[in-house]
Amino acid sequence: MKIREMTIEDYDQVYHLWKTIHGFGIRSIDDSREGVERFLKRNPTSSVVAEEDGKIVGCILCGHDGRRGCFYHVCVEESYRKHGIGRQMVGASMRALQAEGINKVSLIAFTKNDVGNAFWNRIGWTKREDLNYYDFTLNEENITVFIE
């Protein structure tokens, strides 16, 4: 298993992987090839993929705003789970953030994502109970489709 920086050349395989993850939310604009390319250009070193024999089996989109890092779309193909791949990818992205002087990382996990929430708890992340998360949609055409 190789953990490496994600490039736009990985997009087709990554998008296919996202489409297999039950409960995953994919945005029409942000998760398009153009949206991911824009994200990777802004954050060239911190997004990673897990690759085995040329096949991408895991992915993290990771970026920062100069102050705090954020994980998006963390996933591992179901048949590859429970082998430490997610933990290795998290470590690689966190090391990339640290190299850029970032000291804190956050993420959002859907409350119904039992597998994901169990993973984050198991590897030592803290669920925040002291804040509310708000967002505001600037582009109504950026629709989220959930994978069944």
The token pair at 67 is 């102050």
| Tens-digit pLDDT profile for residues 94-135 | 999 999 999 999 999 888 888 899 999 999 999 999 988 898
Instruction: Name the one residue in this structure whose structure tokens are 């998006």.
Output: 72
Confidence at residue 24, expressed as pLDDT on a 0 to 100 scale: 85
Does residue 148 have a pLDDT over 80?
no
Q: Please provide the DSSP assignment of 6-75 as one string.
A: --GGGHHHHHHHHTTSTT-EEETTTTSHHHHHHHHHHSTTT-EEEEETTEEEEEEEEEE-SS-EEEEEEE
Predicted structure pTM score = 0.91
Instruction: Name the one residue in this structure whose structure tokens are 């996990």.
Output: 109
Confidence at residue 22, expressed as pLDDT on a 0 to 100 scale: 85
CB 148 within 8 A of CB 22: yes
Give CA–CA dist 112/110, Å, rounded: 5
Confidence at residue 112, expressed as pLDDT on a 0 to 100 scale: 83
| Tens-digit pLDDT profile for residues 47-101 | 999 999 999 999 999 999 999 999 999 999 999 999 999 999 999 999 999 999 9
Domains within the chain, CATH numbers bracketed:
2-146 (3.40.630.30)
